[in-house]
């Protein structure tokens, strides 16, 4: 034993017998014991203290967002030569190193995950380390040498555990860009708990073994009769006592780790259980509502004539239920009597393939306002700006759901989703809508299908301005006046909608106000035309002073963000954030409730940002799929296909009756261009006539009679002290009487 002890001490001085930081609890215990076996008491004590100093404390953070056995923190990650090192939030858990742009992204967006089972860890200069996995290098920097050493130790330990626990991993070295599913996370947590139990079992066996050996040595020391053998027996007792102490300390640490791990998972599973209870309650309410609907439909079916029911069954337009989430908010009040409704069209004639050089027309128009540039219908789509404005109502069910919300902050989330949804139809829509003529109107009566009526009127020609009013039977009213300011800049066209959108909920009195962002059409000179939306939207609830700030990120070729990204924060009147909104304006929007907020940074030179911890996100809005053959029908949505459908009883100024637009939809573009020039020339002559009358009135000292829209009038906003056009009423009454005597002849 003495020779073995001296040899072991020699190896210790040479650095051979130092305990490896990468080992787990069981391997760490075994390495400690093998180093000290047969050594002197003081030598064993030195080895133990060195081991304790060589293992830096890991940052184990029990949280509902990650596994409790987690090392996390800010690191600088090399991205590319343009951006250099960028700050990322790294999380080490269950043998996986994941990174995010912010802590808030942990709930929904993982930027990358590195499996440590086959990773190679290389430490460079101070604060710098390189991870090599699957032929790819990850260059990372820590804020200090101490922090770097902590990460290296944590990575090495996690690598050893991953090699031991993950025997079958076909692509462990590749970067995974999607988050682990819940089942995989649960399986990883169970594996971690089993591993900790194995460590406890190993330590327990070692304690029993070394305890028994220590007991035997003490018994032999008591039974010692020859004093000359006392020194050797005393050394043996000291060595075995030291081994027993080391094993006991390892057992205590393993027990502490297991308790922390179990408590963290317990809190997480309790939250998951509470969430499942809420979902179950939500599902029960949904089933109850569906049962009521079913009973109402059965009763209506029994009361309706058989031939009427068959007509509805075989002639009505197919409908789609996008998700169970949308079913939860269907209106269950009132009767569900089946009424025979008019079928809406589902297609229009295919767009002709006419080629025309846009640059040849617009090269002399740089810097001019877009509405003043004479354009052939080749660059239009067969809808007017009034119809495009009405198309914002495609997802009006979001407002129906918002009207039933009790919580104003949840209502704000749905209003924000509605404000984003209006851009979803524009992703492929590069055609320019027809400029409405002064006095042109457009109505959309969807009382039967969606519970609302909409009326638009062109109230000004230069600058072009349209007023819009929507009244819904489902508890809300929307109105807006939008003035289009557009400029042609050579390579692109900028479209800046000016004005505010107002939304009032009848039951609560909540009054929301917001505006639109800037739209840009790119590649005017060369390349494929594409549209982008960028800027900020500030939604304000005038009654409660709650706010929502939405940011539309401009598209960038060098950005790794999701294209057409939209983010937002919903805050109360005190500025306290309650919800995080995320998604894209062409696909979907989600909301995540904030449970905790903090401020974090890496280094003093990096600006601090608020970091939010959130619950799992919930879907607010999802874009409907485009109809079949949409690419040949101007990429129109299902609603857009019906907007120009002929309707009986509309006003003679309605956009559906505009001849150039009607001819273009039919594919007769040459005839459409002829009528378009005729209408524009007629409008120019009418404007000159009004200007001449104005000049005569000024010369004679009479009051100038300005143009007055038929269905809208200017009113002063009591809060902003700005005047805007609002609905004065009378249109639907005139339609019911079919009295259009006041309407001008504009077509």
pLDDT tens per residue, range 209-244: 878 888 887 887 777 666 666 677 777 788 878 878
Mean pLDDT of the chain: 78
Average pLDDT over residues 148-157: 85
Residue 42: both structure tokens together: 């003081």
pLDDT at 326: 39
Place of tokens 């922090």: 147
pLDDT at 333: 39
pLDDT at 687: 86
3-state secondary structure of 638: helix
Nearest to 442 by CA among 746, 714, 665: 746
Q: Is the pLDDT reported for residue 621 higher than 80? A: yes
Model confidence at 358, pLDDT cuts 50, 70, 90, reads low
Task: Report the distance separating Cα 484 and Cα 391, nearest Å.
Answer: 16
210, 180 contact by CB (below 8 A): no
pLDDT tens digits, residue range 44-96? 333 333 333 333 333 433 333 334 457 889 999 988 878 888 999 999 888 88
pLDDT at 331: 42
Nearest to 523 by CA among 561, 555, 566: 555
Task: Report the distance separating Cα 672 and Cα 377, nearest Å.
Answer: 7
pLDDT at 45: 31
Q: Is the pLDDT reported for residue 450 higher than 90? A: yes
Task: Report the distance separating Cα 691 and Cα 462, nearest Å.
Answer: 13
Which of the given ranges, 128-142, 273-287, 346-360, has the highest pLDDT on average?
128-142
Phi/psi of residue 518, nearest 5 degrees: -80, 135
pLDDT at 341: 54
Place of tokens 């200007």: 691
Nearest to 589 by CA among 371, 419, 335, 706: 419
Bond preceding residue 463 cis, omega within 30 of 0: yes
pLDDT at 688: 87
Report the largest interatomic distance among the alpha carbons of the chain, rounded to a whole angstrom.
139
Lowest mean pLDDT, pick from 123-127, 357-361, 571-575: 357-361
Residue 79 contacts by C-beta under 8 Å, 6 or more apart in sequence? 85, 86, 560
pLDDT at 340: 46
Paired strand residues for 88: 75
Q: Which residue has the higher pLDDT, 327 or 498?
A: 498
Paired strand residues for 432: 380
Compute CA 496 distance to the chain's CA centroid, rounded to the nearest angstrom.
25
- The dihedral built from the CA positions of residue 370, 371, 373 and 377, taken in this order, carries a sign that is positive
Q: Is the pLDDT reported for residue 380 higher than 50? A: yes
Lowest mean pLDDT, pick from 45-49, 278-282, 588-592: 45-49
Nearest to 496 by CA among 481, 485, 507, 505: 485
Residue 233 contacts by C-beta under 8 Å, 6 or more apart in sequence? 217, 220, 221, 224
Percent of the chain with pLDDT over 70: 77
Q: Is the pLDDT reported for residue 525 higher than 90? A: no
Task: Report the distance separating Cα 372 and Cα 435, nearest Å.
Answer: 10
Element (H, E) at 100: strand 96-100
453, 459 contact by CB (below 8 A): no
Paired strand residues for 593: 579
Lowest mean pLDDT, pick from 26-35, 400-409, 430-439, 693-702: 26-35
637, 348 contact by CB (below 8 A): no
Q: Is the pLDDT reported for residue 367 higher than 80? A: no
Element (H, E) at 557: none
3-state secondary structure of 89: strand
Average pLDDT over residues 287-308: 69
Residue 135: both structure tokens together: 């032929």
The alpha helices in 592-668, defined as continuous H runs, are 638-643, 659-665
Dihedral angle over CA of 265, 268, 273, 277, nearest 10? 180
Q: Is the pLDDT reported for residue 586 higher than 90? A: yes
Lowest mean pLDDT, pick from 113-127, 355-369, 495-509: 355-369
pLDDT tens digits, residue range 164-191? 765 444 433 333 333 444 566 666 677 7
3-state secondary structure of 649: coil
Residue 91: both structure tokens together: 């999380």
3-state secondary structure of 472: strand
Which of the given ranges, 326-330, 332-336, 483-487, has the highest pLDDT on average?
483-487
Lowest mean pLDDT, pick from 260-269, 583-592, 727-736: 260-269
Task: Report the distance separating Cα 727 and Cα 698, nearest Å.
Answer: 30
74, 90 contact by CB (below 8 A): yes
198 to 70, 257, 683: CA distances (angstroms): 19, 13, 86
Residue 38 region by backbone torsions, left for phi larger than 0, else alpha for psi between -120 and 50, else beta:
left
pLDDT at 441: 97
pLDDT at 342: 64
Average pLDDT over residues 322-327: 36
Lowest mean pLDDT, pick from 102-116, 506-520, 538-552: 102-116
675, 668 contact by CB (below 8 A): no
Q: Is the pLDDT reported for residue 335 higher than 50? A: no
Lowest mean pLDDT, pick from 198-207, 296-305, 477-486: 296-305
Q: Which residue has the higher pLDDT, 259 or 632?
A: 632
Q: Is the pLDDT reported for residue 371 higher than 90? A: no
**What DSSP designation does 176 have?**
B
Count, residues in the chain: 747
The alpha helices in 112-181, defined as continuous H runs, are 145-165
693, 702 contact by CB (below 8 A): no
pLDDT tens digits, residue range 687-737? 888 888 888 878 888 877 788 999 999 998 888 788 899 999 999 999 999
Which three-class secondary structure string do you get for 673-697? HHHHHHHHHHHHHHHHHHHHHHHHH
């Amino acid at each position: 034993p003495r020779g073995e002890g001296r040899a072991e001490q020699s190896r210790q001085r040479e650095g051979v017998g130092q305990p490896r930081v990468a080992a787990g609890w069981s391997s760490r215990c075994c390495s400690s014991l093998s180093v000290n076996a047969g050594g002197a008491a003081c030598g064993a004590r030195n080895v133990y203290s060195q081991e304790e100093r060589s293992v830096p404390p890991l940052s184990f953070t029990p949280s509902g967002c990650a596994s409790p056995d987690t090392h996390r923190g800010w690191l600088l990650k090399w991205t590319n030569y343009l951006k250099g090192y960028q700050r990322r939030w790294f999380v080490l858990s269950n043998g996986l190193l994941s990174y995010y742009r912010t802590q808030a992204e942990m709930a929904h967006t993982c930027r990358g995950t590195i499996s440590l089972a086959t990773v190679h860890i290389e430490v460079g200069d101070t604060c710098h380390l390189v991870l090599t996995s699957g032929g790819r290098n990850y260059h990372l920097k820590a804020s200090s040498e101490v922090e770097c050493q902590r990460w290296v130790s944590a990575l090495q330990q996690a690598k050893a555990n991953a090699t031991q626990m993950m025997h079958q991993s076909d692509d462990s070295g590749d970067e995974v860009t999607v988050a682990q599913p819940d089942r995989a996370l649960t399986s990883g947590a169970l594996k971690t708990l089993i591993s900790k139990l194995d460590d406890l079992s190993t330590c327990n066996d070692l304690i029993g073994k070394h305890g028994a050996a220590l007991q035997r040595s003490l018994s032999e020391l008591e039974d010692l009769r020859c004093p000359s053998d006392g020194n050797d027996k005393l050394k043996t007792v000291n060595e075995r006592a030291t081994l027993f102490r080391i094993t006991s300390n390892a057992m205590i640490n393993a027990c502490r780790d297991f308790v922390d791990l179990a408590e963290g998972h317990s809190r997480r599973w309790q939250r998951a259980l509470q969430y499942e209870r809420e979902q179950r309650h939500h599902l029960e309410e949904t089933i109850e509502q569906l049962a009521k609907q079913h009973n109402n439909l059965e009763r209506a079916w029994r009361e309706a004539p058989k031939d009427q029911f068959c007509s509805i069954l075989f002639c009505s337009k197919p409908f789609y239920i996008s998700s169970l989430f949308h079913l939860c908010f269907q209106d269950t009040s009132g009767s569900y009597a089946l009424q025979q409704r008019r079928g809406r069209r589902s297609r229009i004639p295919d767009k002709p393939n006419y080629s025309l050089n846009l640059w040849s027309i617009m090269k002399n128009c740089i810097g001019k306002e877009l509405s003043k540039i004479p354009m052939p219908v080749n660059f239009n789509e067969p809808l007017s700006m009034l119809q495009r404005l009405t198309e914002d109502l495609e997802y009006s069910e979001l407002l129906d759901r918002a009207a039933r919300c009790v919580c104003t902050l949840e209502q704000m989330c749905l209003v924000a989703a509605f404000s984003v949804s209006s851009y979803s139809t524009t992703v492929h829509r590069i055609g320019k809508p027809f400029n409405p003529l002064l006095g042109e109107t457009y109505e959309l009566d969807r009382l039967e299908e969606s519970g609302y009526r909409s009326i638009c009127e062109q109230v000004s020609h230069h600058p072009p301005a349209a007023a819009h009013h929507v009244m819904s039977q489902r508890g809300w009213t929307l109105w807006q006046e939008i003035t289009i300011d557009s400029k042609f800049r050579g390579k692109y066209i900028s479209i800046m909608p000016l004005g505010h959108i107002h939304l009032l909920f009848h039951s609560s009195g909540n009054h929301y106000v917001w505006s639109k962002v800037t739209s840009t059409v790119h590649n005017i000179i060369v390349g494929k035309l594409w549209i982008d939306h960028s800027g900020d939207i500030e939604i304000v609830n005038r009654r409660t002073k709650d706010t929502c700030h939405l940011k539309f990120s401009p598209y960038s070729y060098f950005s790794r963000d999701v294209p057409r990204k939209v983010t937002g924060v919903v805050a109360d009147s005190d500025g306290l954030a309650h919800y995080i909104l995320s998604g894209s304006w062409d696909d979907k929007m989600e909301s995540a409730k904030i449970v905790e907020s903090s401020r974090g940074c890496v280094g003093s030179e990096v600006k601090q940002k608020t970091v939010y911890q959130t619950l799992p996100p919930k879907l607010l809005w999802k874009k409907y799929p485009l109809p079949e053959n949409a690419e040949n029908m101007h990429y129109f949505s299902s609603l857009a296909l019906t907007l120009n459908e002929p309707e009986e009883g509309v006003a003679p100024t309605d956009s559906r009756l505009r001849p150039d637009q009607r001819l273009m939809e039919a594919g007769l573009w040459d005839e459409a261009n002829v009528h378009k020039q005729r209408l524009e020339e007629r409008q120019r002559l009418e404007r000159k006539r009004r200007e001449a009358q104005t000049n005569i009135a000024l010369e004679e000292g009479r009051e100038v009679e300005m143009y007055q829209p038929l269905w809208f009038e200017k009113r002063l906003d009591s809060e902003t002290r700005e005047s805007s056009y609002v609905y004065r009423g009378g249109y639907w009454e005139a339609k019911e009487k079919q009295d259009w005597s006041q309407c001008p002849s504009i077509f």
